[in-house]
Structure 1
Amino acid sequence: MTRAIQFHNHPFRFLLYLEWGLLAVAIMGILTTPPLREMARRGPPNVPVNTFTQWPLFTVGCILLFGLLGLYLPTQGFWQRLGHIALQVVLILVASGLMLRGARLFPFIYLVLVIRSCLMVGLMGRVAVTGLAFLLFMTTLGLKFRGLGGRIPRPIRHLIGSLQMNLIVFFGLSLVFTLLLVNALLNERTIQNRLQKANEDLQRSAAQVKQLATAQERSRIAREIHDSLGHSLTALNIQLEGAIKLSRRNPKKSQALLLEAKRLGSVALQDVRQSVATLRDKSPAKDSLHIRLNALIDTLRTSTGIAPNINLQLLTPLPEATNLALYRIAQEGITNIVKHANATAVDLSLIADESGTRLLLRDNGRGFDMSQTSTGFGLQGMRERAQSIGGTLTVNSRSGEGCEIRLVVPG
């Protein structure tokens, strides 16, 4: 833990309650010890009675202070933790020394010290505190039995010695069990915290992936609508404008433009159906890249009267995703030429062989300022499509010098 352990953030509240219970048993044992009550009532020779009456209360005070220290356990700072443990040891020594004068021995305070050390220090510190608690108990027990040695008959001393050894072994095992138990609890809590953190990270990652997938899907739908319908509706609008202008002067030409507009409307409707089918994960029958590019070129001829220079060499089959990206990039470029370029010459080159795929679309129109138009949605969509197939898109243009779109996809 990075913060000091207090009552409100104690990792194992039941251990704190266990401490209070053990200390309460020790206090009740001190206050109900018959020798102390008798000594406090009569007092030994040459010793004032009030001195003996203060022994139990002073011992209880030490244990209460020891219990209050459990409400604040530092977990950071070497000297702060060492000082806290040292103060607990001093209180145990004082209480143990007073209990040697007739009170019962209560090893619970040593167990409490070990439990607290597990919450404050690392593994080596816990082992050191456990060893210190064992030495303190063994020393206190030895002094206790040594004080009783003069009042115990000689035949019973051997039995007392065996009892002392058994108590030492039993208490040592109790300390080891307490150390292992608290370590296991701490390890389990650490694993739970890690799992909880991993679960939270996983949920955040899932939310981010969901947001990213939603954004990508929205971007894909926007590109489909912009590239397909944008091109068809642009050409349709040009045909309708021409038909309106020629409706009186050249009715036959106007009718031809209207027929072309009707065809473009059908193309736009087909694009809508294809986009809907794509959104529903259905794969409609698709024409080859040659046919689709030729349809674009026909639209360019009809809309602008330009006969482009074409060089299509598809020497190796391409994945459908690559075909679609190439078609959409060429479609967006031709749409921009029809809408904005006012060009008189267009070059379209597409070469696909083992070394890679190269697309070039160039016009001699009025061009544009890259610093003002490079963030447009059409150019952004072309760059995204090029990136999706691992290609590099380069757009070069200056005002009055036309525009050149170059795509290179490594083989």
Structure 2
Amino acid sequence: MIRLTYPSFRLLLYLEWLLLATAALMEVLHPFRSFWSPLLRVGAIAILGIIGLRLPTVNLGKKVLFTALEFGLILLPIVSEGLSSRSSFLLFLVLLMRSCMIFRQPGQIAVLSLALLSYSSLLLLKPILPERVIATVWEWRLSNVLLFGLTLVFALLLINALIAERQSREELEIAHDKLAVTNEQLRYYALRIEDQATLQERNRIAREIHDGLGHTLAAQTIQLNNALLFWKSEDEKALEFLKQAKQLGSEAFLEIRKSVSVLRSNPLQGLSLESAIDKLLQDFQRMTAIEVSNSIRLPISLSQEMNTTLYRIVQESLTNIHKHADATMVTVGLQQHAGQIHLSISDNGKGFDPAQNTTGFGLQGMRERVAAARGQFAIYSESGNGCRISVSLPSQNI
């Protein structure tokens, strides 16, 4: 059934009722031979209006039968009761409007052609009396037929424009509904990803605390127990154990500071990238006694996201070197060249086989950060020859 929820369709419905009411009024005012004549003509118009409340839109056979019934309701009073040409004009216009609602363009043109043929036959085949007005009547009839044809064509174009507008509105509403559903799904997925990322970060920090701070505190506890055992019998040995416990406490404090720094959303704390990396390297050298050198040349300012990505990669690399490399020298280079930001971190440690370890030592986290920035990540290492991490990020992300 045709939906009448759009203003354009309601306008067509009101126009149809207005045309039918006008045709019925014209038939009541038209001269008639018997009492039953206007009743039959108005009754046919009323039935034509009632069946239009539910138009077939699916089955082609039902559409054809419906249109044939409409033609019958118009032609029957024309032939039997002499329905006026003006009323016929309006009823054929209603028929064309309905055909636009139920048929595609070929069907609409067929209905238009049949309506024009029927109206022309009705008008041109009527006898003309007296003979002296034949020329005038024929001129009027031809003009009327031409006007009727132009009216049908105009109505066809207008109604199709209204239908196209309705279809555009429907498509827009469907697209809006789909977009709303998609937006809700994306929001749900984003929340899930955020929760998953938070859980992974918590697990990573838990591992860091267990492997770093937990080990340091365990070793400190052992040294304190040794000091308690020897503090009466061997004072100097107990003092040495206490000094080692103090040193382990300092290392534990540094581990806590590092974990808190990892949790910060802006690890640079208002510093420039060069200053933040330089401070990170100084702290690393003071804590590990590993010699460091750096060469940072950035003639352009980077976005906060880019700064954070580069800083985190340097931070994770230094952590891995301290834990696993047994290195005595670390070199960090950062520069901009040919539309790319190039970062390299190298050490002279024991190295490893990248084919045997592609996700450990924090490498997976670094790869994910670089991939999120649409950059390239590479690692070069072999046993006994140290390690070098190379990162290239497009400067378009700045």
- Report the TM-score, using the length of structure 1 for normalisation: 0.64
Once the two structures are TM-superposed, the CA of residue 141 in structure 1 deviates from its matched residue by 1.7
Q: Structure 1 residues 345 and 86 mapped into 2: Cα distance closer, same or farther (>3 Å)? A: same
Q: Which residue in 2 is equivalent to 1:407? A: 390
- Number of matched residues? 368
C-alpha distance in 2 between matches for 1:84 and 1:407? 72
Once the two structures are TM-superposed, the CA of residue 292 in structure 1 deviates from its matched residue by 0.9
C-alpha distance in 1 between matches for 2:346 and 2:200? 20
Q: Which residue in 2 is equivalent to 1:141? A: 123
C-alpha distance in 2 between matches for 1:403 and 1:73? 80
Once the two structures are TM-superposed, the CA of residue 409 in structure 1 deviates from its matched residue by 1.0
The answer as to 2:246 corresponding to 1:262 is no
Q: Which residue in 1 is equivalent to 2:230? A: none
Deviations 1:291-335 (A, max 9, x none): 313423544x2xxxxx65756443555736545323323433454
C-alpha distance in 1 between matches for 2:245 and 2:368? 39
C-alpha distance in 2 between matches for 1:227 and 1:402? 29
Aligned with residue 243 of structure 1, among 203, 220, 224: 220
The answer as to 2:271 corresponding to 1:285 is yes
C-alpha distance in 2 between matches for 1:162 and 1:209? 70
Q: Structure 1 residues 352 and 332 mapped into 2: Cα distance closer, same or farther (>3 Å)? A: closer
Q: Structure 1 residues 346 and 212 mapped into 2: Cα distance closer, same or farther (>3 Å)? A: farther
Mark the runs of 5 or more structure 1 residues left unpaired by the alignment: 41-52, 302-306
Amino acid at match of 2:244: K
Q: Which residue in 2 is equivalent to 1:393? A: 377
Q: Which residue in 2 is equivalent to 1:331? A: 315
Mark the runs of 5 or more structure 2 residues left unpaired by the alignment: 228-237
**1:112-261 mapped onto 2 (5 Å cutoff):** 112-123=94-105, 126-143=108-125, 145-146=126-127, 149=128, 152-154=129-131, 160-161=137-138, 164-165=141-142, 167-204=144-181, 206-207=183-184, 210=187, 235-247=212-224, 248=227, 249=238, 250-261=241-252
Deviations 1:241-286 (A, max 9, x none): 22211122511111222233334445555665xx26x39xx95235
Once the two structures are TM-superposed, the CA of residue 136 in structure 1 deviates from its matched residue by 1.8
C-alpha distance in 2 between matches for 1:26 and 1:409? 80
Once the two structures are TM-superposed, the CA of residue 336 in structure 1 deviates from its matched residue by 5.3
C-alpha distance in 2 between matches for 1:292 and 1:381? 19
Over the matched positions of the two proteins, sequence identity in percent amounts to 24
- Report the TM-score, using the length of structure 2 for normalisation: 0.66
Q: Which residue in 2 is equivalent to 1:358? A: 344
Q: Structure 1 residues 396 and 211 mapped into 2: Cα distance closer, same or farther (>3 Å)? A: farther
Q: Would you say the 8 A contact 1:75–1:121 is kept in 2?
A: no
Once the two structures are TM-superposed, the CA of residue 115 in structure 1 deviates from its matched residue by 0.8
Q: Would you say the 8 A contact 1:228–1:268 is kept in 2?
A: yes
